[in-house]
Chain A
Amino acid sequence: MSNIIDRRKNTKGKSTNNRQKFLKRVEDQIKEAIPDIISQESIKDSSGGGKVKVPIKGISEPNFRHDPRSGKKHYIRPGNDKFSEGDQIPKPEGEGKGSGKGKGSNSPEVTQDDFVVILSREEFLKYFFEDLELPNMVKKYMESTTTFKNHRAGYTKNSVPSRLNVKTSYQQSLARQISIGGVYAQKIKKLQEQLAHEKDEQVRLDLETEIKRLVKLKDTIPFFEDVDLRYNNFERVPQPATSAVMFCIMDVSASMGYHEKDIAKRFFTLLYIFLTKQYTNVDIVYIRHHTESKEVDEEEFFNSRESGGTVVAPSLKLMHKIMKERYDPQVWNVYCCQASDGDVWSNGDAVECSQILKNDVLTEIQYMAYIEIKNRGLEGYLWHAYKKLRKVENFSMKNINDVSQIWPVFKALFKKKSLVNDDN
């Protein structure tokens, strides 16, 4: 009779392998698409796994087929509501030239201009950060603090007794007992049937001994054999260092327009994604400043319209203060990203900023990036003051003036520095 099988418990992901093969094939297109995502979509969403639009180019499967525009074709349609034999219906404008498939094509395929590949968070980050690396110094620090955690990973046949999994072993043993027992039972049954019909005394005797032997064997199937034993298997999985804090300092003075803030926002979010890959726990401190500096929440940081003149140094002081109070650099990996159009109230302010960074901040934190959102050529006070810090290993500064530059600049800031001189 029919077999009814519940497949649902079986491992899913039968297509995983083929899916990987496919992703590998469109890898280049995905990589190309990633900067687009960063400049077009809300990046915060991307941190949960991006949707990547991959154009169908390069993954089509060509074959010999008719050009749907050519030739004499007949087709049958259902639901005639108004036509009579001999009617002539003008072809729609553009039909027959470049309209591609559709009408007149019998092929079952639907043409698709592009479709969306949904990447898992892991996959997305893999492509996202493939060419990036934390700055060298930070990496060393992280390597030394990487911890491992044991994760269960199925069963294994060889291990230490303390890891014996009794239930699974017992199931294995039962299966073995049942199958071996069944074989004996069958043999015994067969021999007994033979015995019932057998007349010859000697043969009967032989049969009986054999049956006895088999019964004994059947009754003495060992309860546990080595082959039954299953041990819990564990894998050592590296754990990312636990915590990091990111200070986002944004200039919201009157000179920062929507465009500038947009770029800053995208940059911060990118940094956020970057950090969440490295750390299980990432805090963000938002600081906005015009004449005053204050710590705000995300909503206010990105959306508040409050504005005013520009004094920068207090924001760095504020950051330093918060760091001292809540984020001890001994425990936290501290990052800072400052975005500004580079205009400051006075040169003194800029010099003060540079001093604070040099003396108080950079010595304590992992890395700081300064992005100046401004057309090159007009060097701001801040840029000028920060220039002297360029040699400091954990400080970088870049100029951005267009959304499309965010990704290249981000890459440049965080590029693999293995080629750069390595003192240690």
Chain B
Amino acid sequence: MMDKEKFKEMFSSPNWDFETIKAADELTSWVGKEYFKLDTYINQIEIVTSEQMLDAYSLIGLPTSYPHWKFGKDFVINQSSYKKGQMGLSYEMVINSDPCISYNMENNSTCMMLLVIAHACQGHNAFFKNNYMFKDWTSADSILDYMVFARDYIMMCEEEYGDEEVEKVLDACHSLMDHGVDKYKKPPKLSAEKERERLKRLTKAKKENYNELLRTLPTEDALLKQEKYRKQKKYPLEPEENLLYFIEKNAPTLPIWKREIIRIVRKVAQYYYPQTMTKVMNEGFATFMHYHIINKLFDLGYLGDGFMLEFLKSHSGVIFQPDYNSKFFSGLNPYTLGFNIFMDIKRICQDPTEEDKAWFPDLIGKDWLDEVHYAMENFRDDSFIAQYLSPKVIRDMKLFGIFDDEDNEYYEIKAIHNERGYRKIREMLSNQYDRSNRVPDIQVDQVDLHKTSKLTLIHNIHDEKLLDEDEADSTVRHVRHLWEFPVELHSRNKAGIDEDFYEC
């Protein structure tokens, strides 16, 4: 290692240069690996301007994406709130890809640079590489290629079928993105190369079989299939919750290019699925890691006191949690919650109280780093909270649970941070991060194969939560646009009775 004093001096200057970035990267990688057993993808650190960061924002972090007005809208919204000072840009943004790309804002101070490099290039990076959700559902090595493929494909469609047609399909697909995820089957790995080959085969087959006269006649295969379903009376036999997948595969008359676009949006939805499921853990772990790495560097003598003061200020800003009655309150801060839980795992391993012994017998006396890694690798937000949220964290954050029933004139406090409330709060909070609480449960019920090709969707009502009517109305229209035949949506309660009905 280089002379420690030299590093100290380098990092104490507020203005960074590329040598500083390089040193920050090398030091944090070394400490991450050596002291905290972090296993990461190779890093690609990109220094960007605020405008480039805004670009990245609107493409949801991807370096490239297909063209669509939605991204332009997000850009305009972000730009205007940034210019008005309503929104600060994040200091970094990091992409689940291999190599792991992270953007760092040029106007970060040296301290911020070191912090975000530790946070993103070590914390997030290791999380992407090792958390089971990301391992199973995404392929970091091919997402960038795939997005280039997607962009080229959509631009080709725009040229061939016109911007407006493509836009309509994309709009419809985007409205169903939440319902384009396979939660049970792991998707096959993405590869742009394979997608291209698959497409080539498809077009070739289409050309060979193309015959103007026979065009509308179903193939023999399809006839057999139809016959089979006719006998079964109902198609599909099992309800299907991946609406985009179902439409892509079963829409009776959809041209191939539209199916391809559905597929692209589906793949993107799938790619983001783990991110939405691990926000608390991912941010918590990255915060936990930058905190430890920088403290370690300080302990080892690479950083000065002044640096640490600035660091602590930024760090506490990151994990600031406004109270429920503060005007700054906007929900639980995932950074805070995740950081607190990870810190608590460490504490329980090292210094357990009687309470901890009763609550977490398996953690007592274990190596904290191993346990943190285990937690980081094998959970997602809901299960992580169900497993690790401790009475101490509940007390420290003064968590309390509210019950809001539309039939009541009042909110009811269901549980607070006391003996009786711990388990209840843990359960409630875990549920809060459960996807089914956010995304309505909508499934394909059946298709009328006999005459109308009508598609019937069922919304299963949970906890008496109904659909937002206007939204549902417009979304059903989008479904119809893709399906090209009548669509019905039944909002059905537990007793099997329709409470709402939409059709288009």
A-side residues, CB < 8 A to B, are: 1-8, 10, 12-15, 17-25, 59-81, 83-91, 96, 103-104, 106-108, 112, 115-118
Taking a contact as CB atoms under 8 Å apart, the answer to whether B459 and A78 are in contact is: no
Taking a contact as CB atoms under 8 Å apart, the answer to whether A6 and B414 are in contact is: no
- Residue B403, interface by CB 8 Å: yes
Taking a contact as CB atoms under 8 Å apart, the answer to whether B25 and A22 are in contact is: no
Taking a contact as CB atoms under 8 Å apart, the answer to whether B399 and A78 are in contact is: yes
Taking a contact as CB atoms under 8 Å apart, the answer to whether B406 and A83 are in contact is: no
List of A residues within 8 angstroms of B224 by Cβ:
none
Taking a contact as CB atoms under 8 Å apart, the answer to whether A21 and B55 are in contact is: no
29 A–B contacts, CB within 8 A, in A order: A2-B26, A2-B45, A5-B44, A15-B59, A18-B69, A59-B69, A62-B470, A64-B439, A64-B442, A65-B468, A65-B471, A66-B466, A67-B466, A70-B465, A72-B403, A74-B404, A74-B428, A75-B402, A75-B432, A76-B400, A76-B428, A78-B332, A80-B399, A81-B398, A84-B413, A89-B412, A91-B411, A96-B406, A103-B404
With A3-B45, A63-B177, A78-B323 known to touch, is A118 a contact of B440 (CB < 8 Å)?
no
- Residue B43, interface by CB 8 Å: yes
Least distance between A222 CB and chain B CB atoms (Å): 34
Taking a contact as CB atoms under 8 Å apart, the answer to whether B76 and A19 are in contact is: yes
- Residue B464, interface by CB 8 Å: yes
List of A residues within 8 angstroms of B360 by Cβ:
none
List of B residues within 8 angstroms of A61 by Cβ:
70, 171, 174-175
A83: contacting residue among B69, B80, B400, B466, CB under 8 A: B400
- 1/0 per position for B406-425, CB-CB distance to A under 8 A? 10111111111110110001
With A76-B400, A79-B326 known to touch, is A8 a contact of B49 (CB < 8 Å)?
yes
Taking a contact as CB atoms under 8 Å apart, the answer to whether B414 and A74 are in contact is: yes
List of A residues within 8 angstroms of B411 by Cβ:
88-89, 91
List of B residues within 8 angstroms of A77 by Cβ:
324, 332, 399-402
CA distance A62 to B475 in the complex (A): 6
- Residue B291, interface by CB 8 Å: no
Least distance between A49 CB and chain B CB atoms (Å): 12
Question: Dominant SS at the A interface?
Answer: loop
- Residue B225, interface by CB 8 Å: no
Taking a contact as CB atoms under 8 Å apart, the answer to whether B46 and A76 are in contact is: no
Taking a contact as CB atoms under 8 Å apart, the answer to whether A72 and B410 are in contact is: no
Taking a contact as CB atoms under 8 Å apart, the answer to whether A4 and B174 are in contact is: no
With A3-B45, A64-B179 known to touch, is A22 a contact of B73 (CB < 8 Å)?
yes
Least distance between A75 CB and chain B CB atoms (Å): 6
A21: contacting residue among B48, B59, B72, B478, CB under 8 A: B72
**B458-500 interface with A by 8 A CB criterion:** 459, 462-475, 478
Q: Which residue of B lies closest to A16 (CB)?
A: B72
CA distance A68 to B440 in the complex (A): 12
List of A residues within 8 angstroms of B471 by Cβ:
62-65
Taking a contact as CB atoms under 8 Å apart, the answer to whether A73 and B463 are in contact is: yes
- Residue B153, interface by CB 8 Å: no
With A6-B47, A63-B177, A72-B406 known to touch, is A79 a contact of B397 (CB < 8 Å)?
yes
CA distance A10 to B49 in the complex (A): 10
List of B residues within 8 angstroms of A88 by Cβ:
410-413
Q: Which of A6, A15, A90 has the most CB of B within 10 A?
A: A15
List of A residues within 8 angstroms of B175 by Cβ:
61-63
Sort A-B residue pairs by CB-CB distance and give the 5 closest, nearest first: A79-B323, A22-B72, A71-B465, A18-B72, A62-B474
- Residue B450, interface by CB 8 Å: no
CA distance A173 to B61 in the complex (A): 36
Least distance between B120 CB and chain A CB atoms (Å): 12
CA distance A88 to B412 in the complex (A): 5
CA distance A288 to B45 in the complex (A): 63
- Residue B390, interface by CB 8 Å: no
List of A residues within 8 angstroms of B463 by Cβ:
71-73
Taking a contact as CB atoms under 8 Å apart, the answer to whether A76 and B432 are in contact is: yes
Taking a contact as CB atoms under 8 Å apart, the answer to whether B48 and A118 are in contact is: no
Taking a contact as CB atoms under 8 Å apart, the answer to whether A70 and B45 are in contact is: no
Taking a contact as CB atoms under 8 Å apart, the answer to whether A71 and B464 are in contact is: yes
Least distance between B71 CB and chain A CB atoms (Å): 4
Taking a contact as CB atoms under 8 Å apart, the answer to whether B399 and A74 are in contact is: no
CA distance A281 to B84 in the complex (A): 32
List of B residues within 8 angstroms of A20 by Cβ:
72
